[in-house]
Amino acid sequence: MLLAGCPGRGAELPPDLPAVGGQVSLLRVPRHGGLVEAYDPDSLGEPIWTSRTEAPRIREVLGVSAETRLLFAVDTAKNLFTVDLESRGIRTQATGIEAAVMVADGSVFTVNAARRVSRLQAGLPTLYRPPLPVAPVFHTGTLGDRYIAVLGTKPRRLLILGAERQLASLDAPDGEPAATYWGDQVAVAKGREVVLFQTEDPFPTRSFEAGAPVRHIVFSPSGHRIYLAHDDQSIEVIDRYALDRLATLELPGVPRRLRTDQSGRWLLARPADGDSAWVVDLATGRLVMTADTEWDDDLPTVAGAATLVTRRRGDLVTVGLGQPDHPELGRIVGGAADLWVVTPWLPKERLTRAVAAAESILVAQDSLLVADSQAVAPTTDRIFLQVSSSQNAEWSREYAKQLTTAGYPAQVLDPGSADEGYRVVVGPYATREAAEETGRKLGRPYFILTNPPIKQ
């Protein structure tokens, strides 16, 4: 059993683990319309990037497509629009949008007033033939063209649509749904029972019993773990594949909501009473701090390796989780009124500085090494990015094919044991820096692998 530390130990520093995802930008999208801005989350000084034209009043922000470098949002007039992070321009993509969601490959699924589904990928729309019978209470999509919706009917239904036809219709519990980042699995709880829906043909379901009635569910970014909140002071950690209980995280009180960061290292829990956040370091299972923050769909979250981004009494505030006493790193007065997005995209000016900083670190490191370079054996390490792990071989190979088509050297590693999945990796790269640069371009959760067992 893995136990989180008590609040009194909150000042302890987490272990110095490698950052997943490298440097990031923090995008400010004015809720009531205006210029979109980008900031360095570790300082929140002057904007490091600004759009050329003003965005309209915002209903919701969907996210950033790493491939196209477009920020997608829906305005209060129900228009889907994009902010081009390279040209700084703004363009309307679709109108009459009742609901929308961005999925892992950067495509956007929308639902209009007639409950027709469309998929926008790389600027090309696809209108789905089968309409939804009622509006969805939850929806997402997969790396292919499958659209998944949970309908608020009695009983509830989980629909899986292809562009031409309905692929599956399944009974679903009344609990709040959660999906993996990749959309390949949806979890819904009813009491202590958690039902897992596989969104790939033949659409099997599995279920397991939690230790107590489930209040809220989230997946880890990789989809390997499931976190369950109960009406007690604990969080269950479940292995998604074996359905075994891996750990129990103890908290100072009862959590109402859970949220993981993009790297999968941090878990944020919202207390049942009051606005604050318990920050748990999943590398140790310890409670790092209790943060004073307001909750919304976008915040609080963690940017980069260890920068907590919060709303606090009307301001936008960032906090250093990896530093003693968790100091305030930056503050934007009045920033809480706007919407915020963490993205691995970096403005060209900041990207140049990031590369220069990385090079200076390498120079400093080299100066500490043995002067006689011939005394040091040359490295033969082969660095890869692991971007997915699934028990479904066909899905993994399809994902690797999509990455290869997009210009990334992807392949699938077969399981080494019954407990492993089919791992999609990108590489090899000669250095960790080169691998992480690709990871930033992908804009998706990844792990660094050194010399994995790949047949030559």
Residue 404: pLDDT band (50, 70, 90) is confident
Tell whether the model's pLDDT for residue 16 goes beyond 70: no
Residue 398: pLDDT band (50, 70, 90) is confident
Which pLDDT does position 449 carry in this prediction?
82
Q: How far is the C-alpha of 198 from the C-alpha of 207, rounded, in Å?
A: 11
Which pLDDT does position 431 carry in this prediction?
84
Amino acid occupying residue 353 = R
Residue 363: pLDDT band (50, 70, 90) is very low
Q: What percent of the chain has pLDDT over 70?
A: 86
Q: How far is the C-alpha of 99 from the C-alpha of 136, rounded, in Å?
A: 8
Which pLDDT does position 264 carry in this prediction?
84
Least confident of 57-61, 301-305, 339-343: 301-305
The pLDDT of 236-259, averaged and rounded, is 94
Q: Which of 331, 326, 329 is nearest to 312 (CA)?
A: 331
Which pLDDT does position 76 carry in this prediction?
98
Tell whether the model's pLDDT for residue 224 goes beyond 70: yes
pTM across the whole model:
0.78
Give residue limits of the domains in the chain.
Answer: 7-345, 369-450
354's enclosing H/E stretch is helix 348-367
Which pLDDT does position 274 carry in this prediction?
82
Mean pLDDT of all residues in the chain?
Answer: 86
Tell whether the model's pLDDT for residue 369 goes beyond 70: no
Amino acid occupying residue 335 = G
> Domain 7-345, what architecture?
7 Propeller (2.130)
The pLDDT of 422-437, averaged and rounded, is 85
Which pLDDT does position 192 carry in this prediction?
96
Q: How far is the C-alpha of 84 from the C-alpha of 203, rounded, in Å?
A: 37
Same fold, 7-345 and 369-450: no
Q: How far is the C-alpha of 355 from the C-alpha of 62, rounded, in Å?
A: 29
DSSP conformation class of 40 = -
> Residues 164-199: pLDDT tens digits?
999 999 999 999 999 999 899 999 999 999 999 999
Which pLDDT does position 322 carry in this prediction?
85
The pLDDT of 357-374, averaged and rounded, is 43
Which pLDDT does position 418 carry in this prediction?
64
The CATH number, out of the four listed (3.30.360.10, 3.30.70.1070, 3.40.1710.10, 3.40.50.11890), of the domain defined by the range 369-450: 3.30.70.1070
| Residue 440 CB partners (closer than 8 Å, separation 6+) | 21, 22, 23, 344, 345, 346
> Residues 47-65: pLDDT tens digits?
999 999 999 999 999 999 9
Q: Which of 156, 151, 195 is nearest to 174 (CA)?
A: 156
Displacement of CA 390 from its chain's centroid (Å): 17
Which pLDDT does position 351 carry in this prediction?
67
251's enclosing H/E stretch is none
Amino acid occupying residue 361 = I
